[in-house]
């Protein structure tokens, strides 16, 4: 349902696709900036938080790519590489968040048993 509403809105808002293109540009480029911030994080919770935000942003970029294809602003063939890369990055970020959270939990458990 949300996809259909987005499709209708995209068609109404922008016949040339500029609205969808702008949204894709914003989310797609913010991923790199947020990932950079994660790499520079000075605490594990900040690192995890930034990685989770990067995962959300790449998911949103993938959403806009789907809207662009469904509204026929671009073909599936033209967006296939971007869709594949977005899926791969989402998987990497999600796995990294799980690993970082799990590592923190294991350390706390180890520290509590040593006391």
Give the separation between CA 59 and CA 28, rounded to whole angstroms.
9
Range of the domain at 44: 28-101
Q: Is residue 15 part of a domain?
A: no
- For residue 105, how many C-alpha atoms fall within 13 Å in the half-sphere facing its CB? 7
Q: Is residue 113 part of a domain?
A: no
Torsion of CA 65, 92, 25, 42, to 10 degrees: 160
Q: Is residue 112 part of a domain?
A: no
Alpha helices in the chain (DSSP H): 2-13, 18-39, 44-70, 76-114
The pLDDT of residue 55 is 94
The residue among 9 and 53 whose pLDDT is bigger is 53
Give the separation between CA 27 and CA 17, rounded to whole angstroms.
16
Q: Is residue 83 part of a domain?
A: yes
pLDDT tens, position by position, 12-24: 455 667 888 888 9
Contact assessment for residue 100 and residue 48, using Cβ atoms and an 8 Å cutoff: yes
Is pLDDT at 1 greater than 60 in this prediction? no
Nearest to 64 by CA among 15, 102, 18: 18
Overall pTM > 0.85: no
Q: Is residue 6 part of a domain?
A: no
The enclosing domain of 86 has a CATH number of 1.20.1440.60
Q: Is residue 12 part of a domain?
A: no
Number of domains in the chain: 1
Give the separation between CA 86 and CA 28, rounded to whole angstroms.
9
Q: Is residue 58 part of a domain?
A: yes
- The burial class, CB within 10 Å (0-12 / 13-18 / 19+), for 7 is middle
Q: Is residue 33 part of a domain?
A: yes
């Amino acid at each position: 349902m949300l996809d259909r509403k987005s499709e209708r809105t995209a068609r109404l808002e922008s016949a040339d696709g500029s609205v969808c293109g702008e949204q894709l540009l914003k989310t797609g480029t913010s991923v790199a900036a947020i990932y950079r911030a994660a790499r520079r994080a000075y605490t594990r919770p900040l690192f995890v938080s930034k990685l989770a935000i990067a995962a959300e942003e790449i998911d949103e970029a993938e959403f806009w790519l789907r809207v662009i294809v469904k509204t026929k602003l671009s073909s599936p063939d033209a967006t296939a590489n971007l869709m594949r890369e977005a899926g791969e990055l989402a998987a990497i970020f999600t796995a990294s968040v799980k690993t970082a959270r799990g590592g923190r939990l294991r350390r706390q458990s180890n520290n509590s048993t040593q006391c």
